[in-house]
Structure 1
Amino acid sequence: MRAVLPVVTVVAAIFALWYAGAVWLNAPWARDQAARAGVELTLPELVSATWSQERPRLPAPHQVAEEFWKSTAGTRLSSKRNLLYHAWVTLAATLTGFALGTGLGILLAVGIVHDRTMNASVMPWVIASQTIPILAIAPMIIVVLNSVGVTGLLPKAIISMYLSFFPVVVGMVKGFRSPDAMLLDQMRTWSASRSQTFRKLRWPASLPYLFPSLKVAVAASLVGAIIGELPTGAVAGLGARMLSGSYYGQTVQIWSALVMAAILAAALVAVIGLAERAAGRAMGGRA
């Protein structure tokens, strides 16, 4: 109970601020409509009006919940209007980009740790790559790939990879360098090769750094997949759902897509957490 109470308190505070924000932002429209009708709204009527607008500036939580339910359980699963269909499209690009980014990040980390030249030349570029706003380069990536006939899933996956490889590189470099100098000297005393030292010492020592990096990377990959859907004019995916809601002023639709993205991110992070526990148990830990 003591562990649940702080979480419930924070969630309740967020919902209270959300409802208050909906009243504040939607009140001008409600007052304007009432003035045109020649009536004056009481406080309860104003609150009710701000929480029930068709196209509010900030939809109330119950409006988002109703739209979310209507777009999932209230729509056929095979329909392209179903939010789960759009979530699946985004998930495919997310997982592809996440796999590519994880592989690239681990390979770069191995090279950086084992080669001084690569450490001095590649690592600064890895860091500098994250200073470029993804919103600036995403359209260029899409245009360049489209010009050579690459369309569909791959351009979005590449954008996801661009965002997801960085935390893996940083985390794994730190993980591969985490063994004590005494342990490395001991491996040399046993005449262990570089590959043996990597497999028997560096890789196991890096696992506590790997999974936190993967949790950050998978969330970044989801963001990249959604961003990749925006400049393509895609008709499917959570990014496309948000874009169409923006075109037609359907803020409730935008927020329901955001909620689905948050649920998707939480599920992916939870799966990596389960893998982390399984790896901990396999290595003799208590997790």
Structure 2
Amino acid sequence: MTLPQKIGPVLTVVVGIVVIWYVGAVFMNAPFQRDADQRAGRQSTTIEFIEATLAQPKPILPAPHQVAQNVFENTFLRKLSSNRSLVYHAWVTLSSTLAGFAFGTLAGILIAIGIVHVRTLDRSLMPWIIASQTVPILAVAPMVIVVLGAVNITGLIPKALISTYLSFFPVVVGMVKGLRSPELMHLDLMRTYHATRAQTFWKLRFPASVPFLFTSMKVAVAASLVGAIVGELPTGAVAGIGSKLLAGSYYSQTIDIWAALVAGSVLAALLVAIVGLAGHLVDRAMGRRPS
């Protein structure tokens, strides 16, 4: 498949989303603009009315060009140390995201190894792990913040723990499936060679689980970013993407809210792409043929 064939469908979807977004912005902002025109005694043409709905300073739904302009200004035209810089806020959120992702991945791998090799853990621990993900993160985050704050643990650690809570689950599920993916014939062959459990793990189970691990890590890193942003909301953080969302909601700065959402989406896409690239490099190093 050539590059234009790959990009074409994506561009088509993007253009469709932008068109729907503009139409939605006009309809959502029209009542306020109609009321403003009546109070000012203005008689606008249809074109002028549409242009006005797409240029409101505090619209209900910002137009794509308003969000794009805000993102550009707060990314490239601000000092990195400025509290209005999206790069600065993204870095604050990224630090807790990476910490939570690292802890979650390590915990997920260790739990998966225990579940695969200890039958008791498989029967007792796995149901609780699944049940833990049914609790909404918005309910868990304030409890974590309050409990850790009571023992003077604030800052990065509470947000990292919330990210860990969200990111370890996909790693556990992916690694369990990966460690159990070798065929029974291959496991019998290892027994024929009198391989120990450690040798079977390192020579067969772990290499077979690597593709599953990186696939689950893509989900985990995105979930970790969500956890970091959610962790910033109950604390009233002054920095981070979550703080930008809070400030925008307090002062009805909807354009800033959408710009922060775009920044978070771009950051998530970059993190997933980096994990995917790392997985591709590991696959090549292991000699695995591209599918």
Q: TM-score, normalised by structure 1?
A: 0.98
- Superposed CA deviations along residues 27-51 of structure 1, whole A, max 9, x for unmatched, are 0000000010112332111210111
Structure 1 unaligned spans of 5+: none
Q: Quick one: distance in 1 between partners of 2:210 and 2:98?
A: 20
Given residue 219 of structure 1, which amino acid in structure 2 is its aligned partner?
A
* Unmatched segments (≥5 aa) in structure 2: none
Q: Show the counterpart of 1:205.
A: 208
- Counterpart of 1:26 in structure 2 is 29
1:247-266 alignment to 2 at 5 Å? 247-266=250-269
> Does 1:147 find its partner at 2:129?
no
Q: Distance in 2 between matches of 1:149 and 1:190?
A: 55
Deviations 1:97-150 (A, max 9, x none): 000000110011000000110000000000000000000110010000000111
Partner residue, 2:123:
120
- 1:72 deviates by 1.3
Checking the alignment, whether the CA contact within 8 Å between 1:31 and 1:41 is kept in structure 2 is no
Indicate which of 167, 171, 182 corresponds to 1:168.
Answer: 171
State whether residues 98 and 218 of structure 1, in contact with CA within 8 Å, keep that contact through their aligned partners in structure 2: yes
The one-character-per-residue Cα deviations of 1:140-162 (angstroms, maximum 9, x if unpaired) are 10000000111000000000000
How do 1:15-54 and structure 2 match up within 5 A? 15-54=18-57
Q: Which amino acid aligns with 1:76?
A: K
Number of the residue aligned with 1:158: 161
Structure 1 Cα separation of the partners of residues 249 and 93 of structure 2: 18
Separation in structure 1 between the aligned mates of residue 115 and residue 6 of structure 2, nearest angstrom:
42
Name 2:241's counterpart in structure 1. 238
1:69 matched residue in structure 2: 72
**Number of aligned residues:** 287
- Quote the residue 1:13 is aligned against: 16
Counterpart in the other structure of 2:284: 281
Deviation digits for residues 189-226 of structure 1 (CA, Å, limit 9, x no counterpart) = 11111111100000000011111100000000000000
| RMSD, aligned α-carbons | 0.8
| 1:221-272 CA-partner distances (Å, limit 9, x unpaired) | 0000000000001000000011001000000001111111011001101111
> Is 1:88 aligned with 2:91?
yes
* Structure 1 residues 152-184: Cα deviation after superposition (integer angstroms, max 9, x where no partner): 000000000000000000000000000011111
Partners in 1 of 2:141 and 2:248 — Cα distance? 21
Calculate the TM-score normalised by the size of structure 2: 0.97
Counterpart AA for 1:44: I
Conservation of the 8 A alpha-carbon contact between 1:156 and 1:225? yes
Written as runs of structure 1 = structure 2, the 5 A alignment for 1:177-216 is: 177-216=180-219
Separation (CA, whole Å) in 2 of partners of 1:14 and 1:236: 30
Letter in 2 for 1:62: H
